[in-house]
Amino acid sequence: MIEVQHLEKTIGKTTILKDISFTMEAGRMYGIIGPNGVGKSTLIRLLSGVESPTSGEVRLEGRTADSYGRKELAKWLAVLQQGGLASAGFNVREVIMMGRFPFQNWLGEEKKDVEALIDDALAAMGLLELQHRRIDELSGGERQRVALAKVMVQEPRLLLLDEPTTYLDIGYQVQLLDTVKSWQRERSMTVVAVLHDLNLAAHYCDELLVLNEGCVEAFGPPSMVVVPELIQRVFRARAVVLPHPATGVPQLLLQPGETF
């Protein structure tokens, strides 16, 4: 699904990503983690084809990402950018309908009846009672849920999420990631998500890619990545890592006053 070979990205005189190589298989959920400013969002933009690398390449289903036309790519790849939706003069249902744009003709029509698809997305994100509210009347967290519903009605095979739990309280963080994980399994969809909460990343992702100083520090299942040595080396914080009592996945407990 995704092949990254010797990827580099330089902006001005600053090299953001250096000699990045990895492969992500179809039908799995991957997390990208790492400290602030190490190039996580830049990597998502490169994977989506929105930006081109300085050198190296990103291949999606065998073709370089920047060789696809934007509308062609949007028929099977969806991106939830950091920060959700900006304010606009449309209501929630209208904004979610915009996710069907890649499939519409020049009159804004498509053959498929998508009303049930829209209803399902509204229900999944707890937005049925808000569907006729204007976007600029919603909180940041509500707009983030609308943004996810919008990309999901694209019915993507590849979903890229850049900090999807931004602005959400812990209940909605779990609801959002539960929904994404359910869709990923039901549709054999590939998901790549930038996540700051390492405990959530360990719960929901099959594998974690750790970026540090523009390079790949580690890439593997949570049991191999969420370990005290790596947390100390990458995040400069000391932690105790314990198995979750219900799921067994590694969970970390930070030790206050133990940063360096």
> pLDDT tens per residue, the chain (260 residues)?
899 999 999 998 899 999 999 999 999 999 999 999 899 999 999 999 888 999 999 999 999 988 888 888 888 999 987 665 666 789 999 999 988 888 887 776 777 788 999 999 999 888 999 999 999 898 888 888 899 899 989 989 999 999 988 878 898 899 889 989 998 998 899 999 999 999 999 999 999 999 999 999 999 999 999 999 999 999 999 999 999 999 999 999 988 875 55
| End-to-end Cα, the chain, rounded Å | 39
Which pLDDT score, from 0 to 100, does residue 92 have? 95
The pLDDT value recorded for residue 84 is 59
Residue 188: half-sphere exposure toward Cβ, Cα within 13 Å = 3
Instruction: Please tell me the distance from the alpha carbon of residue 130 to that of residue 153, in angstroms, as a whole number.
Output: 17
How confident is the model at residue 259, as a pLDDT? 54
Q: How many CB atoms lie within 10 A of CB 243?
A: 11
Residue 46 contacts residue 53 (beta carbons within 8 Å): yes
Sheet order of strands, 207-212 included: 77-80, 158-162, 190-194, 29-33, 207-212, 215-220
Compute the distance between CA of residue 207 and CA of residue 202 in angstroms, rounded to an integer. 8
What residues contact 58, with CB distance under 8 A and at least 6 apart?
A: 2, 3, 4, 7, 46, 47, 49, 64, 65, 66
Q: Could you tell me how far CA 201 lies from the centroid of its own chain?
A: 11
Q: What is the pLDDT of residue 69?
A: 86
In 3D space, the residue among 121, 111, 119 whose CA is nearest the CA of residue 147 turns out to be: 121
The pLDDT of residue 87: 60
Q: Are strands 29-33 and 190-194 parallel, antiparallel or unpaired?
A: parallel
Distance CA 58, CA 160 (A): 14
Burial, 121: exposed, middle or buried (Cβ in 10 Å; 0-12, 13-18, 19+)?
Answer: buried
Q: What is the DSSP string of 17-34?
A: EEEEEEEE-TT-EEEEE-
The pTM (predicted TM-score) of the whole model is 0.90
3-state secondary structure (DSSP) of residue 14: strand
